[in-house]
Structure 1
């Protein structure tokens, strides 16, 4: 064995072909898990996690031969409990047993709570190879992923059956066993090369030579190296036809984890297929075949009749591989061509009758019934937004056609194209650009990070579609719980809020939810009652609003500022916020900017002091009127000055509130701050809680109005100093 003070360790878990998504996930999990585990046990090392479809690999460099001694100090029982008449009690003896310690390991120290027993221990470090042998089975079993499987009759579970195990400490095999009933896998130094290019087993001599040895067996174990080779080869193949490729991160990651020795192969298809909508061709290539499309321009707008596939086979057989892939894509595109031509035989509007045969949900009926609800709700939203007649007509036509492509042959074969084919077929049927674009846009966003709809028709119909789904499923009791959300209702609610924000649509969501709840309960009277359904929907939207504000990738809002804007989450506070979600986000972002600029703290001090006392008054939180103040009972000069200042500024506050001019609110609070300071402190100060109830009510009223001016921005009582 090597005598060096630093050592290398290699672990290779050999498997049957793993899903590409699991390889990527497992690498990320070990990259998080293993460095932290080593650090917790006093071991430092360079950690490198690698993987291919047939193996997960861990390489540790710079390991010490011995774990350093671990020093710990643990607080035990109070001395009065630990000893009785100078002898250790059962409590102390039990404490020592639990720590495998002896009486000589403790000392008694004085603390604020009296004398306490402390245990100081030194745990002798173990040999690093011994620790690794113990840890490795747990590192493997702690990996998580979907649809893990068992094989043979054992209980060992993994993404795919584990077939071999390599564990090398420098040049020595480290004993590691994975065992479960009849399944027993023992580590050795034998691995396997490329299935086609190097079918014989490979004997690994040293952990330090792993990468070089595997390369000789046509295995590139480093995913980043494979990725770089794929990019270079794809661009090189595209250059041979004067083309450009769109190398998306998603596709690149997937093909990287599908191959062990990548070879890019350029294939061709008949130019006549370019008459198909580009999305049909790219869906066949990318989604179904994992090909890279080739374009004639850098903007990726003009497809060429070529594709590039990443082969895991013999580079010498590239021509055979090309021909096989050409046969596959030719057949797929021919199917698409047939479906496209068949679908164009009649206008998009004629497909609507078939929606009666498509079930949306057992208790809610067909997709045709949903379409009718979407049309009604889209019309109601258009009315709320006070849109022009032409806009309303375009929205109604979009709502009437938006799901018709679901029963087309093309979408039946390629479900990923829903919406896009509706747009194409609408254009071919002579529909307006607004309607055609709206049919596609109403599906946006389709997933996290997707773009939002740009057309008004798509925005309104998309809102109607999602609000109908949310109302109906909540009405049936299908409310997401924990991490379970089978109908993606959280994503739907997020989309509603994001669309309203991005398009700045002044929709009163509270009112719309009230109307949809009432309509649902009238249509399905045995399912829910309107007020309960509305409360559930409002609470759900309030939660999503909070999450979106706190987790905004570009403008995250501190949790206390979100609390200040959203209130204490009771029904009335949530209803008010949902009445104007644009204002809620604007206020949250404004408060966040103030905090970052350092201008929030002075305002906080002024408003919060007043708010604490104002709780004992009777003025409601949203009142901006001096009507409740008894002017003839304003005895002190500072009271009258405070009253006059409020009288002068309240009109400005109301105008600023209507216009969303939050800077003006800050200016008003800034002007009032010196008066409030004198009201509380100094020779002019007054006793707020005066014996005379009228004077007391007056003074609390003045402070309540100051609180309410600050309340235009948010509840300052929720802000953490």
Structure 2
């Protein structure tokens, strides 16, 4: 079937916008094609420094005829309503049909040629494209991220004719801005388009550009017995800056290696878009870098490397100045300046925040490690943890907050645990980030994140939908990960409100679901009122393993059967109270379940007291056979009132005993 090829060619598109632009283009084209009754076999988009490209396979040559039955007002409705319906359909009253006292319009829309629909679609998409920032140029009204030069639009080997703000569609595109003898060429299908770009020094696919960068950069480093310091975010960016990416290995002044490695890497990354290089044996940086050029230079990149080295030296000289000046001022002497740094209009200054973190650290420390020293060190680290925000280096490189504080604390000769806590208290900042588990660092990191959560929930700045401007979801996940990895037994309810505790439950569900766990099991455990994350996760894991067994699945079914009977009886009146007894003449299965419940309560209680949740689940498993036998042989709703009441008390006993292990009513399986 025919193929649609579209290229929107412009001045340089910012690298940070390219991936989302490709997704937006695919979504908008897919939605508009679907609205016209088209279901393409495949749609693929590509984004690069100067072009957005889309190819759609399997479109028909023309739209199929469409028939629509549209429901109108009731017969006898006011004339105004009927006339409005007629205007919306383009019919007259005689053309309407009646069914069950309601008017219906039967509309026939003949299909249109696909190129006609495509022309309208592309113009609407271009004019309504959701760029984060856009501009106008010349005398036109079109807004785009950068001035548009060309529009290539070809369907089934033929140009789709249209014009947007004087830019006529065609089959012409161009290759690399500098390389190649002939820049522009014609393309009537995707294969010719992609091959033509490659001949004119353009790699269309961003994933291919990334592979090209990494392969060449690793090879350059390997040839010198070095190792590339890989950086996925930087790779994404440089792949969006060069159409023909060409890595070049450059040299830097070895004297700069006495700077903290994070400073060197950040300066390279932020200012110059360079990759750092290290010695694979020691892990230390070496005086080299990899830059990604957009051309293949005749001299092999020597001039480019030399020029970039000079620029890097200037940047690192600035960094050295900040480093040396910052070391002259103690962290404690910077605290006064935090009073002039606003944290949030409703939450005070950064100094106010530090005071809250310091207080929290003192309260949290005994739960992390109650040894008499952790609290004092954690309080000291908490007091100094934000001091580097007013340093010159962090002013230049905000990404280094915490990291530089750790270096400055180390330079002052502070306790290593304090220095490490200052450095790591922002961690974890993402799902792949390390978690601080050393006691002082874990304490300060918990205090920092809990203060963020408590403070913003306190002023009702909670996440809504996809909106989370203060990264509270990330903070809650950070607290959970620290508690789990440090095995800290923290009673959350002591520190947080009910709505914040529910927020933690939701975040825990997300974390466990990502690990393949069922969210309903988290509900089943949280319903017990527990607020110890470590214990909750242990219970959830044990419950999950139990329910995967045949005994667990069958006992759950028995539990739900018992609960359903009890609910039905509760509608008739209060359930009988008291303990079930072994009644004379009762079936042996009834007595067997009474004995089994009594034994299970004792043994599971011992297991729960020791937090041996696996053992508690094994005790539950022993109930499976007695419960099955009871429901198989015993009639709960006996005609004898005493028997019926005793059996209802027994079912309530089953429900309550199992409920001390988990709320099985929350389990959906």
Counterpart in the other structure of 2:78: none
Alpha-carbon distance in 2 for matches of 1:62, 1:15: 28
Matched, 1:18 2:1: no
Counterpart in the other structure of 1:510: 493
Residue 685 to residue 266, structure 1, CA distance change in 2 (3 Å): same
After TM superposition, list the pairs within 5 Å mapping 1:225-624 onto structure 2.
225-297=208-280, 301-313=283-295, 315-316=297-298, 318-385=301-368, 387-513=370-496, 534-550=497-513, 552=514, 554-557=515-518, 559-567=519-527, 576-577=529-530, 579-596=531-548, 600-615=552-567
1:458 CA drift (Å): 1.6
What SS class does the counterpart of residue 293 from structure 1 fall into?
Answer: strand
Alpha-carbon distance in 1 for matches of 2:412, 2:480: 33
TM-score between both structures, scaled by the size of structure 2: 0.85
1:510 CA drift (Å): 0.7
1:686 CA drift (Å): 3.9
Residue 688 to residue 298, structure 1, CA distance change in 2 (3 Å): farther
1:377 CA drift (Å): 0.9
Matched, 1:223 2:209: no
Counterpart in the other structure of 1:703: 651
Alpha-carbon distance in 1 for matches of 2:321, 2:375: 36
Task: Tell which deviates more after alignment, 190-199 or 320-329.
Answer: 190-199
Residue 423 to residue 205, structure 1, CA distance change in 2 (3 Å): closer
What SS class does the counterpart of residue 486 from structure 1 fall into?
Answer: coil
Alpha-carbon distance in 2 for matches of 1:560, 1:107: 50
1:543 CA drift (Å): 3.2
Alpha-carbon distance in 2 for matches of 1:593, 1:480: 33
Alpha-carbon distance in 2 for matches of 1:542, 1:560: 11
Residue 142 to residue 543, structure 1, CA distance change in 2 (3 Å): farther
Whether contact under 8 Å (1:64, 1:128) holds in the other structure is yes
Task: Tell which deviates more after alignment, 399-408 or 350-359.
Answer: 350-359
Task: Tell which deviates more after alignment, 450-459 or 379-388.
Answer: 379-388
Task: Tell which deviates more after alignment, 450-459 or 253-262.
Answer: 450-459
Whether contact under 8 Å (1:263, 1:312) holds in the other structure is yes
Counterpart in the other structure of 1:169: 155
What SS class does the counterpart of residue 380 from structure 1 fall into?
Answer: helix
Whether contact under 8 Å (1:617, 1:704) holds in the other structure is no
Counterpart in the other structure of 1:132: 118
Matched, 1:717 2:665: yes
Unaligned runs of 5+ in 2: 76-80, 571-575
Whether contact under 8 Å (2:555, 2:623) holds in the other structure is no
Counterpart in the other structure of 1:57: 53
Task: Tell which deviates more after alignment, 469-478 or 33-42.
Answer: 33-42
1:426-463, Cα deviation, whole Å (9 max, x unpaired): 22222233222222221101234322223221211111
Residue 587 to residue 148, structure 1, CA distance change in 2 (3 Å): farther
Unaligned runs of 5+ in 1: 1-5, 83-89, 109-113, 514-533, 568-572, 619-625
Task: Tell which deviates more after alignment, 306-315 or 153-162.
Answer: 153-162
Whether contact under 8 Å (1:617, 1:701) holds in the other structure is no
Whether contact under 8 Å (1:22, 1:159) holds in the other structure is no
Alpha-carbon distance in 2 for matches of 1:493, 1:690: 55
Count how many residue pairs are aligned between Structure 1 and Structure 2.
Answer: 655
What SS class does the counterpart of residue 297 from structure 1 fall into?
Answer: coil
Alpha-carbon distance in 2 for matches of 1:406, 1:238: 35
Counterpart in the other structure of 1:521: none
Task: Tell which deviates more after alignment, 36-45 or 379-388.
Answer: 36-45
1:124 CA drift (Å): 6.3
What SS class does the counterpart of residue 396 from structure 1 fall into?
Answer: helix
What SS class does the counterpart of residue 298 from structure 2 fall into?
Answer: helix
Residue 121 to residue 667, structure 1, CA distance change in 2 (3 Å): farther
Matched, 1:647 2:595: no
Whether contact under 8 Å (2:596, 2:623) holds in the other structure is yes
1:691-711, Cα deviation, whole Å (9 max, x unpaired): 45xx76654333223113322
Counterpart in the other structure of 1:211: 194
Counterpart in the other structure of 1:188: 170
Residue 349 to residue 260, structure 1, CA distance change in 2 (3 Å): same
Whether contact under 8 Å (1:402, 1:422) holds in the other structure is yes
1:331 CA drift (Å): 1.2
Whether contact under 8 Å (1:348, 1:425) holds in the other structure is yes
Residue 490 to residue 651, structure 1, CA distance change in 2 (3 Å): same
1:542 CA drift (Å): 3.4
Whether contact under 8 Å (1:678, 1:685) holds in the other structure is no
Alpha-carbon distance in 2 for matches of 1:44, 1:617: 57
Return the match for 1:636 from 586, 600, 603.
586
1:196-237, Cα deviation, whole Å (9 max, x unpaired): 335976141533421232334332223233223222332233
Residue 105 to residue 37, structure 1, CA distance change in 2 (3 Å): same
Residue 639 to residue 213, structure 1, CA distance change in 2 (3 Å): closer
Whether contact under 8 Å (1:642, 1:676) holds in the other structure is yes
Task: Tell which deviates more after alignment, 31-40 or 365-374.
Answer: 31-40
Counterpart in the other structure of 1:526: none
What SS class does the counterpart of residue 351 from structure 1 fall into?
Answer: helix
Return the match for 2:622 from 671, 677, 692.
671
Task: Tell which deviates more after alignment, 421-430 or 140-149.
Answer: 140-149
Residue 133 to residue 73, structure 1, CA distance change in 2 (3 Å): closer
Matched, 1:687 2:637: yes
Alpha-carbon distance in 2 for matches of 1:657, 1:368: 44
1:365 CA drift (Å): 3.1
What SS class does the counterpart of residue 636 from structure 1 fall into?
Answer: coil
Return the match for 1:146 from 122, 127, 132.
132
Alpha-carbon distance in 2 for matches of 1:615, 1:46: 53
Alpha-carbon distance in 2 for matches of 1:43, 1:561: 40
1:190 CA drift (Å): 3.2
Alpha-carbon distance in 1 for matches of 2:491, 2:269: 41
Whether contact under 8 Å (2:600, 2:620) holds in the other structure is no
Residue 385 to residue 329, structure 1, CA distance change in 2 (3 Å): closer
TM-score between both structures, scaled by the size of structure 1: 0.80
Alpha-carbon distance in 2 for matches of 1:655, 1:330: 68
Residue 201 to residue 106, structure 1, CA distance change in 2 (3 Å): farther
1:603-658, Cα deviation, whole Å (9 max, x unpaired): 2111112223445799xxxxxxx994275978735554433322222111112222
Whether contact under 8 Å (1:255, 1:290) holds in the other structure is yes
